[in-house]
Amino acid sequence: MSTNNKKFDAIIIGGSYAGLAAGMALGRALKMVLIIDSGKPANAQTPHSHNFLTQDGNTPKGIATLGKQQVEKYKTVSFYNGLASTASKIENGFEITTDTGVMFEATKLIFATGIKDIMPKIPGFVECWGISAIHCPYCHGYEVRNTKTGILANGEYAYEFSKMIANWTKDLTIYTNGKSTLHAEQVKKLKSHNIQIVEKEIKKLDQIEGYIQNLEFTDGTKSPLTALYSPRPFIQHCAIPESLGCETTEEGYIRVNGFQETSIDGVYACGDNTNRMRTVANAVATGTTAGISASKKLIVEQF
Ligand SMILES: Cc1cc2nc3c(=O)[nH]c(=O)nc-3n(C[C@H](O)[C@H](O)[C@H](O)COP(=O)(O)OP(=O)(O)OC[C@H]3O[C@@H](n4cnc5c(N)ncnc54)[C@H](O)[C@@H]3O)c2cc1C
């Protein structure tokens, strides 16, 4: 379907796992759909994606490409490569403008726009992100099980996270990158599990093609390491839902109900931007729900 057409039943912003799943559900309901995608999924740098049934170990791109090929078969679904920059409410729907000034209209809007991780200012970290600097044991813990592993965190968070990671390796050190804020009871418990605490300031991650070799400290010493867990703070990848007035949660996710409906009538959200269960499986599941919910509303309204 060509994007010469400017009016759609639904526009999906974000064409990664959640957006493609929503597009498939709408396409199968014979709805006219446009998927606008700027091509920057969160897991782009990860060599292999895990824990998604039938695709375990495939590349992130491999999974997305297969998904897109399957959605492309539905002739009422169109794709637009680019960045949606604004959305406004119009009579009976919404108008979307891209950064190049192209305009589209739709009755329903679905945001499948993901989140953006905020990187620490430690040289070498960005290169290792998703390769050996990781955020989630369910995505990558199995691959680095029983290896020399670190956690870059402090205080309560570091304590709670270390309980989890100790399941995958017994060679575990918490790097607080400055004075520890763990309290005495926590330190005692960590020691009893042989979990070390290092308070030295980190100068950089020594790495080769994203694989950490050592953590280097400002005092000139080094710790050899295979994997570094580092849960990251995040922001929404796309500011449009907020500008439209969609409510967000205290944690910074777009607030949705069980049908992936946001607080704005006709606007849906799915995938990473809506909840902390950050997996490809969950993005696909919530995307499917959003697509079914939006199509059902359209079917009833168009009857
Ligand atoms: C380093 C790393 C490794 C991971 N490894 C795994 C793993 O092994 N297994 C697993 O299950 N999960 C893994 N995840 C989680 C997984 O990547 C996410 O849960 C999944 O990508 C979420 O899909 P999504 O469609 O919601 O968002 P994303 O995949 O992040 O896609 C969002 C899309 O929206 C687009 N977009 C955003 N704003 C706009 C706009 N204004 N206009 C147009 N397009 C826009 C972006 O360009 C992007 O293509 C990992 C995550 C990270 C960060």
Q: Note whether 98 and 190 are same-domain residues.
A: no
For residue 201, pLDDT over 90 is answered with yes
Distance in Å, CA 190 to ligand 1 centroid: 34
Residue 133 has pLDDT above 70, yes or no: yes
CB atoms within 10 A of CB 218: 11
φ, ψ at 14 (rounded to 5°)? 105, 115
- Banded pLDDT at 50 (limits 50, 70, 90): very high
Which pLDDT value is given to residue 33? 98
Judged against a pLDDT cut of 70, whether residue 1 lies above it is answered with no
Q: Read off the CATH number of the domain in which 72 is found.
A: 3.50.50.60
Per-residue pLDDT at 252: 98
Distance from C-alpha of 285 to C-alpha of 292, rounded to nearest angstrom: 11
Asked if 29 contacts 295 with a C-beta cutoff of 8 angstroms, the reply is yes
Domain assignment of residue 138, yes or no: yes
C-alpha 144 to ligand 1 mean position (Å)? 22
11 lines ligand 1 (CB under 6 A): no
Model's pTM, two decimal places?
Answer: 0.97
Q: Where are the alpha helices (DSSP H) in 152-254?
A: 155-165, 184-192, 240-244
Answer whether 283 contacts ligand 1 (Cβ < 6 A): yes
Mean pLDDT of 210-224: 97
For a mutational test of ligand 1's pocket, the pick from 3, 11, 12, 16, i.e. the residue with the most ligand atoms closer than 8 A to its C-beta, is: 16
pLDDT tens, 6-20? Answer: 899 999 999 999 999
Please answer whether residues 155 and 270 qualify as being in contact, where contact means their C-beta atoms are separated by less than 8 angstroms: no
Domain-ending residue, one of 229, 251, 276: 229
Q: Give the model confidence (pLDDT) of 90-130 as tens digits.
A: 999 999 999 999 999 999 999 999 999 999 999 999 999 99
225 lines ligand 1 (CB under 6 A): no
Per-residue pLDDT, 116: 98
2 confidence band (pLDDT: 50, 70, 90): very low
What are the pLDDT digits (tens) for 237-295?
999 999 999 999 999 999 999 999 999 999 999 999 999 999 999 999 999 999 999 99
Question: What pLDDT, on the 0 to 100 scale, is given for residue 44?
Answer: 96
Structural domain span for residue 155: 125-229
Q: Where are the alpha helices (DSSP H) in 141-279?
A: 155-165, 184-192, 240-244
Same domain, 96 and 187: no
Does 1 map to a domain?
no
| Ligand 1 contact, 14 CB (< 6 A) | yes
- Residue 39 in domain: yes
pLDDT for the residue numbered 164: 97
Q: What confidence score (pLDDT) does residue 213 get?
A: 97
Q: Is residue 14 part of a domain?
A: yes
Query: Measured from the CB, is residue 137 less than 6 Å from ligand 1?
Result: no
Q: Would the CB of 193 count as within 6 Å of ligand 1?
A: no
Looking at the chain, which runs of residues are DSSP E strands? 7-13, 33-37, 77-81, 84-90, 93-98, 103-111, 115-117, 133-134, 149-152, 172-175, 196-198, 202-208, 211-217, 222-224, 227-229, 234-236, 267-269
Do 182 and 131 lie in one domain? The reply is: yes
Residue in this structure with the two tokens 């490569």, named with its chain if needed = 81
Share of the chain above pLDDT 90, in %: 98
Helices (H) and strands (E) in the chain, counts: 8, 17
Does 205 map to a domain?
yes
Mutate which of 99, 136, 232, 240 for ligand 1 pocket (most atoms within 8 A of beta carbon):
136
For residues 89 and 133, membership in a common domain is answered with no
The tokens describing 293, both together, are 């919910």
Please give the mean pLDDT across all residues of the chain. 97
Q: How far is the CA of 43 from the centre of ligand 1 (A)?
A: 6
Q: Please indicate whether residue 16, judged by its CB atom, sits closer than 6 Å to ligand 1.
A: yes
Question: In 3-state terms, what secondary structure has residue 84?
Answer: strand
Pair (30, 104) in one structural domain: yes
Give the closest residue (by CA) to ligand 1 atom 29: 41
Ligand 1 in contact with 114 (CB < 6 A)?
Answer: yes
Number of folded domains in the chain? 2
Q: Are residues 203 and 112 in the same domain?
A: no
Is 246 within a domain? yes
Kind plus residue range of the DSSP H or E element containing 296: helix 280-302
Residue 4: band (very low, low, confident or very high) from pLDDT cuts 50, 70, 90: low
Q: Which of 104, 139, 282 to mutate to test the pocket of ligand 1 (most atoms within 8 A of CB)?
A: 139
Q: Is 21 in the pocket of ligand 1 (CB under 6 A)?
A: no
